[in-house]
Structure 1
Amino acid sequence: MPPAITCLLFALLACCSCCWSSTMASVAQAQATTTTTSDPCAGRRVHVRRLPSRFNTDLLRHCATAFPLADPGSAPACASLANHGLGPRTHNRSRSWYRTDARLLEPLFPRRLLDRRACLVRRPAQADAVFLPYYAALDALDPALLNSSALHGLPLARFLARDHPHLLARRHGHDHFFVLAGPAWDFSQPLGDAKMYGTTSLLSRPELANFTILTLQSRAWP
């Protein structure tokens, strides 16, 4: 076979190979896009775990004495619990504007999560993340913690360890998260140190080290 024809055949084979690879890559990309489009909740499924009322609704009793250093001109903390945590309306004609108190984020967040219902699942095994409706900042206002604030969060950790422990062991807590309505620094005190009222060692507890905790204000360093 003449050299020119041989070179031409090699060129055609190389071209066909490149076209085939490109086509297969396009098909794979299209399949991935179709999968994502057909399942908008892929990687976003959340299970809201049921906790005893002592970890959430029972803690609302602290609202009357909450935040003693708050601006005297602001609405009382208990009044801010209206409308499931959104707070009172700014005026009667508005259904979109509320006097929301960010320090009461903990009761508001799970309510909004449940109202949207997007990507929520009943079975923990189907979830990519597990939300804990724990009112941590309100729990820190319990006067019983004044002299033992290093224990903040320990009852929750013990409950999770004994109630369906396989949920916690599945990913060692890396898929668990909750919100904390306060600055991270206030809850990052070293275990065993003297504490001020309202500051605890919640974020220093080793039992919660793998959890994702969403705070109102981050700390400058881990």
Structure 2
Amino acid sequence: MAKRKSLEKEENNEEWSFGLDSYSIKFLSRISIFVVLLVILFVWCSSSIIISSSTLNLCVLSWKLYNSSSVSIGSSRSTYDKPISLINKTHLSDSEFTRPMLGKGVDKAKVEEMVKSRKGIEEKVVVLKSYVANSKANDCEGRGIYVYDLPSKFNKDLVDKCNEMMPWLNFCRYLSNDAMGEPIQGLGNGWYNTHQFSSEPIFHKRVLVHPCRVYDQEQAKVFYVPFYGALDMIKCHFSKDDSELKNAHVLSKEIVEWLEQKKTWRRNSGLDHVFVLGKITWDFRRKANVPWGSPLLELDELQNPIKLLIERQPWYINEVGVPYPTYFHPKSDEEIIAWQAEIRQADRRNLVSFAGTPHKQWENVRSILIKQCTYAPNECKFVNCGGESCVESSPVVKLFMESEFCLQPPGDSPTRKSMFDALVVGCIPVVFDPLTAHYQYPWHFPEDHRKYSVFIEQEEVRISKVNVIKELVKVPLKKREEMRKYIIDELMPRLVYAHQAAKLEKFEDAITIALNNVLEMGLRRVQV
């Protein structure tokens, strides 16, 4: 098998000299500066800058997120791609997400661009779905997974420094109980106050006790790299005096240097290696002179490995979305069954609810939904999560348990932890962008999104064509009951992160599904 090497960045350092006098040089310099300023202004106007919690996040939203040439903050491309001829073309017929919008106020050119881009993304989703394993999770013949014992600076030391993560927050409380957090009183067994960025240590704990774990590298088909990149990024960016900000790139480069010393890495150029990263992909795409993020996913050496993230880059098939950690961590099938029974009987007094904050920077779909919700108090309940009003999980969980539909508009990025919090308690999510869920989590969500969600195109909400609350009122009771039955009986168990000590026989949780498919993906990639 021809080994696939990471792309080499080409640098052209050509020097030009002109026979010009000093006046001409000054004149040309001013023109150059003017052109640069125009370019900066264009970029500024073409993207969205979001400032919150004293941090700066660059988030490529709306139309730009569907443009394959601008979707990545970086320029690195994976050197591995499955031949398009292997994709089942029957799955690529027009979906609900690729139907062009028509009518007054619609920019036809932008719509056409978006439709074309969504079709391209859907091809990538089909490729990722093709890796869903037929093998059972405990079928380990020829499917060994080796867990690297990394130097402690890459994981354990980061957890030990949890008191340095966020000066305004006791982050250590979220990393207690094997990173599930402190127990939540009043919600029953298996409920913990889990932080949305804690998937790295949770996955690590689980893979250490995986039935297919092997201790001999020569028996392994997949290699797990337990680098806590999200915790490293949080520590560097939220230090008390910003003294750690200059070190945001250090561990990212050192983990690559460590791996390059390993024969197992060099053998397949990292194709059979997997990382779990507990923040969204954009937080790992830091470029030079950009103050936010880690450069980990911009490194050429990181283009080949499989990356599991809570939000993936939609154009790269080496990145796979996995559910955000929710608050429910069952230890047994019986705890799941008991929770299913409880949420079936929940008193859903609100037709619609929304827990979130408005964005003051621009009039986006979230702000419009808040207005629509507050204007219909008999049908919709809005909880403003500004400040620390939604830090405690119990009130939000109870709100969703009391609601038929839960609105899930994009925020700083397309995905939301709230999407999974809603599903775990049986609330039907209302989604406004396929990048929020349908294009993100191909291993955990079914192909037919209508089984578990309502989709309303956000651009139609923006141009005032759709009143979301009025549309949801029209959904028949029978349809709502069918969707909720599917969510509770079929989907919910696949989205929870079971307790490390869990003994599940009837159900497979989110981590079991992810690791089983990673084994399939790793095996097939090195066999091509």
Query: If the length of structure 1 is used for normalisation, what is the TM-score?
Result: 0.69
Take 2:257 and 2:243, find their aligned partners in 1: how far apart are those partners?
A: 18
Q: Is structure 2 residue 223 aligned with structure 1 residue 130? A: yes
Take 1:48 and 1:148, find their aligned partners in 2: how far apart are those partners?
A: 26
Q: Is structure 2 residue 293 aligned with structure 1 residue 194? A: no
- Mapping for residues 91-130 of structure 1, pairs under 5 Å: 91=185, 94-115=188-209, 117-130=210-223
Q: Is structure 2 residue 270 aligned with structure 1 residue 176? A: no
CA positional deviation for 1:93: 8.7
Residue of structure 2 aligned with 1:147, choices 224, 246, 250: 246
Larger radius of gyration: 1
Residue of structure 2 aligned with 1:167, choices 236, 247, 264: 264
Structure 1 window deviating more from structure 2 (132-141 vs 144-153): it is: 144-153
The equivalent residue for 1:219 is 313
Q: Deviations over 1:56-114 (max 9, x none)?
A: 1001244224357xxx8xx8321011111111111289442222212111111111222
Contact kept in structure 2, 1:151 and 1:201, CA below 8 Å: no
Residue of structure 1 aligned with 2:156, choices 57, 80, 83: 57
CA RMSD of aligned residues (A): 2.6
- The verdict on how the C-alpha distance between 1:205 and 1:195 changes in structure 2, with shifts beyond 3 A counting, is same
Q: Which has the higher helix share?
A: 1
Contact kept in structure 2, 1:121 and 1:127, CA below 8 Å: yes
Secondary structure in structure 1 of the residue aligned to 2:170:
coil
- The verdict on how the C-alpha distance between 1:221 and 1:97 changes in structure 2, with shifts beyond 3 A counting, is same
Contact kept in structure 2, 1:49 and 1:130, CA below 8 Å: yes
Number of equivalent positions: 175
Take 1:43 and 1:188, find their aligned partners in 2: how far apart are those partners?
A: 35
Contact kept in structure 2, 1:186 and 1:200, CA below 8 Å: yes
- The verdict on how the C-alpha distance between 1:67 and 1:103 changes in structure 2, with shifts beyond 3 A counting, is farther
Contact kept in structure 1, 2:252 and 2:294, CA below 8 Å: no
- The verdict on how the C-alpha distance between 1:145 and 1:158 changes in structure 2, with shifts beyond 3 A counting, is farther
Structure 1 window deviating more from structure 2 (170-179 vs 148-157): it is: 148-157
- The verdict on how the C-alpha distance between 1:86 and 1:148 changes in structure 2, with shifts beyond 3 A counting, is closer
Contact kept in structure 1, 2:232 and 2:248, CA below 8 Å: no
Query: If the length of structure 2 is used for normalisation, what is the TM-score?
Result: 0.31
Q: Deviations over 1:186-220 (max 9, x none)?
A: 11123x23222xx1211000122211121111234
- The verdict on how the C-alpha distance between 1:98 and 1:56 changes in structure 2, with shifts beyond 3 A counting, is same
- The verdict on how the C-alpha distance between 1:92 and 1:46 changes in structure 2, with shifts beyond 3 A counting, is farther
Which aligned runs of 4 or more in structure 1 are off by greater than 4 angstroms? none
For 1:139, give the aligned amino acid. Answer: D
- The verdict on how the C-alpha distance between 1:215 and 1:130 changes in structure 2, with shifts beyond 3 A counting, is same
By relative contact order (CA 8 Å, sep 6+), the higher-ranking structure is: 1
Contact kept in structure 1, 2:280 and 2:309, CA below 8 Å: yes
Structure 1 window deviating more from structure 2 (89-98 vs 101-110): it is: 89-98
Secondary structure in structure 2 of the residue aligned to 1:195:
coil
Secondary structure in structure 2 of the residue aligned to 1:153:
helix
- The verdict on how the C-alpha distance between 1:145 and 1:171 changes in structure 2, with shifts beyond 3 A counting, is farther
Secondary structure in structure 2 of the residue aligned to 1:129:
strand
For 2:224, give the aligned amino acid. Answer: F
- The verdict on how the C-alpha distance between 1:151 and 1:54 changes in structure 2, with shifts beyond 3 A counting, is closer
Q: What percent identity do the matched residue pairs reach?
A: 30
